[in-house]
């Protein structure tokens, strides 16, 4: 018996070694990097480019209707049909000559507006982006509503000014302004982000927000050594109506010692609480055409990701750790497989985990068909769920396509007495003209909170530049 096991291990080792050898051979053969590199060449100035702009507009009509079972104990929420109409606009421009500098001014504007009763408001809207940038030699300055990516508060929109300069291997950037998230014009309790268009405004909960007190500032210094190593050190301070919400010092470094290997690390240190709010280490193997792989370690202290003006930021303290890996393999027959797995450790001893396996198949060369199937499992101590999903797309003609997407979630412990939720989505697209695209979609759901839920979406997109990467619906 023991010998048989040894034999099995031997065969398995042989097979594994063979597979690994083949894998390495394949990857070597497929390395994309040219062996011979072009040495330095002096750049020559291209002719001045004309002014350009992209623009896109979308119009979406949505319908939400639920038939709810008693959900939260003792409550039955009657939901009226909601039919919000949302329009978005996007404009980007560049190549404008200014103060004797060619192609020195560029900018972007994006906004959305909604008409129709939803959340107790007849109309709503926001200006999401509005900035202009001027570049001259190594210098740049940007003015208006823009975003920054600081440490703990990881995506912040603000109204203000940012600027920077690049001198050889060194980058310096600084920014300052008033926080635009959450929307300054809309107090708490007045609106909702969710999948249900029910009335949520409660005037009693409106809070005045002192926008003048909600400001931020930051500076970042980055350096690079050739194309192999780059890193930066940054400081970010953000205030809310009460006081200092975030005062974070963060550092990051990435390296690509060879074409197929990427290494990186980043950490954020909360200066006010003298603790690390977040740290991450990773390694990516991405140079192969047949496979990509990555390994990732993450540390987080959730209470330090809260604004430090929150009383509860003083309550928490238990950090958690996650070690994950991801592998994508491109197989013959236009088949690709992706696997992800991550193990988590909470409170030092409570395990958790996430895993996913996905198969994607594009059977024909012109991508008329796309078929996907995936299974996922999430586990956190006492609760968890399993997801099974299948989806597909069929391009009947170059201008007409249909999409089907369905998912079943099975919960380990019943939620409001229900162990599963089921969703089915059917969509049809028609590109009437290259600049005019339409979409009709229906979503049907059965969830622990709704015995039956129906959502409809009609969307019209008009775009002046079909290949623009901005202003997606």
**Interactions with another protein, residue window 213-272 (CB under 8 A):** 220, 222, 224, 226-227, 230, 232, 234, 242-243, 252, 254, 259, 264, 266, 271-272
Range 364-393, binding another protein (CB under 8 A): 370, 372, 378, 380, 383-385, 389, 391-393
461 binds another protein (CB under 8 A): no
Does position 104 interact with another protein (CB under 8 A)? The reply is: no
Pick the binder of another protein from 67, 81, 170, 205 (CB under 8 A): 205
Residues 285-314 close enough to bind another protein by CB under 8 A: 285-286, 289-290, 292-294, 296, 300, 302-303, 305-314
Q: Under the criterion CB under 8 A, does residue 449 sit at the interface with another protein?
A: yes
Cα–Cα distance measured from residue 164 to residue 172, given in angstroms and rounded to the nearest whole number: 5
Q: Write out the DSSP string of 285-344.
A: E---SSEEEEEEEEEE-HHHHS-TTSGGGGT----EEEEEEEEEEEETTTEEEEEEEEEE
Burial degree of 83 (CB within 10 A; 0-12, 13-18, 19+): middle
Tell me how far, at minimum, the Cβ of 18 lies from another protein, in Å: 5
Interface with another protein, residue 349, by CB under 8 A: no
**Cβ 103 to another protein shortest distance, Å:** 7
103 binds another protein (CB under 8 A): yes
- The position carrying tokens 């197929």 is 260
Q: Which is nearer to another protein, 4 or 100 (CB)?
A: 4
- Is 438 among the residues that bind another protein (CB under 8 A)? no
State which of residues 68, 96, 104, 108 lies at the interface with another protein (CB under 8 A).
Answer: 108
Cα–Cα distance for residue pair 215/306, rounded to 1 Å = 17
Q: According to CB under 8 A, which one of 68, 96, 104, 114 is a site residue for another protein?
A: 114
Contact partners, residue 325, CB within 8 Å, separation at least 6: 293, 294, 295, 296, 340, 341, 342
By CB under 8 A, residue 432 contacts another protein: no
- Name which position in 59, 61, 83, 147 contacts another protein (CB under 8 A): 147
Eight-state DSSP code of residue 71: -
Q: 19: which DSSP letter? A: H
- Interface with another protein, residue 451, by CB under 8 A: no
As measured in angstroms, the least distance from the Cβ of 182 to another protein is 5
Q: Is 463 exposed, middle or buried (0-12, 13-18, 19+ CB in 10 A)?
A: buried
DSSP 93-147: EEEEEETTEEEEEEEEEEEEEEEEEETTEEEEEEEEEEEEEEEETTEEEEEEEEE
Give residues 60-79 in contact with another protein (rule: CB under 8 A): 60, 62, 71-75, 77
Binders in 152-191 for another protein, by CB under 8 A = 153-155, 157, 166, 168, 181-183, 188-191
Q: CA 396, CA 201: separation in Å to the nearest integer?
A: 44
């Amino acid at each position: 018996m023991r010998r048989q096991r040894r034999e099995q291990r031997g065969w398995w080792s042989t097979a594994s070694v063979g597979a690994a050898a083949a894998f390495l051979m394949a990857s070597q053969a497929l390395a994309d990097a040219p062996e011979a590199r072009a040495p330095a060449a002096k750049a020559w100035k291209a002719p001045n480019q004309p002014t350009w702009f992209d623009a896109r507009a979308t119009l979406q009509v949505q319908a939400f209707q639920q038939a709810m079972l008693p959900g939260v104990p003792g409550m039955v929420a009657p939901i009226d049909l909601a039919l919000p109409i949302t329009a978005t606009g996007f404009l980007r421009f560049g190549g404008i000559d200014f103060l004797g500098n060619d192609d020195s001014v560029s900018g972007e504007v994006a906004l959305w507006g909604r008409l129709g009763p939803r959340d107790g408001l007849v109309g709503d809207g926001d200006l999401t982006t509005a900035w202009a940038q001027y570049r001259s030699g190594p210098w740049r300055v940007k003015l208006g509503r823009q975003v920054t990516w600081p440490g703990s508060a990881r995506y912040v929109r603000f109204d203000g000014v940012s600027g920077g300069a690049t001198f050889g291997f060194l980058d310096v950037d600084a920014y300052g302004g008033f926080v635009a998230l959450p929307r300054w014009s809309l107090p708490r309790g007045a609106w909702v982000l969710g999948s249900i268009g029910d009335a949520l405004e409660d005037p009693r909960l409106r809070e005045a927000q002192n926008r003048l007190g909600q400001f931020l500032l930051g500076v970042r210094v980055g350096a690079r050594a050739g194309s192999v190593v780059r890193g930066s050190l940054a400081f970010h301070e953000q205030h809310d109506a009460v006081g200092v919400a975030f005062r974070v010092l963060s550092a990051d470094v990435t390296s690509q010692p060879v074409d197929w290997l990427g290494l990186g690390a980043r950490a954020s240190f909360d200066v006010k609480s003298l603790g690390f709010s977040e740290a991450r280490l990773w390694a990516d193997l991405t140079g192969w055409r047949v496979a990509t792989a990555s390994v990732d370690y993450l540390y987080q202290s959730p209470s330090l990701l809260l604004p430090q003006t929150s009383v509860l930021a003083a309550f928490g303290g238990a950090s958690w750790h996650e070690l994950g890996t991801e592998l994508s393999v491109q197989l013959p027959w236009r088949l690709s497989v992706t696997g992800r797995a991550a193990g988590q450790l909470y409170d030092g001893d409570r395990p958790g985990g996430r895993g996913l396996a996905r198969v994607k198949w594009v059977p024909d060369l012109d991508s008329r068909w796309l078929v996907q199937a995936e299974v996922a499992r999430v586990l956190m101590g006492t609760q968890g769920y399993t997801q099974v999903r299948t989806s597909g797309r069929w391009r009947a003609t170059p201008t007409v396509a249909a999409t089907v997407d369905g998912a079943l979630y099975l919960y380990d412990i019943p939620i409001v007495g229900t162990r599963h939720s089921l969703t089915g989505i059917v969509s049809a697209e028609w590109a009437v003209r290259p600049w005019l695209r339409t979409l009709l979609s229906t979503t049907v759901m059965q969830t622990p909170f709704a015995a039956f839920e129906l959502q409809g979406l009609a969307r019209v997109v008009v775009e002046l530049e079909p290949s623009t990467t901005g202003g997606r619906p």
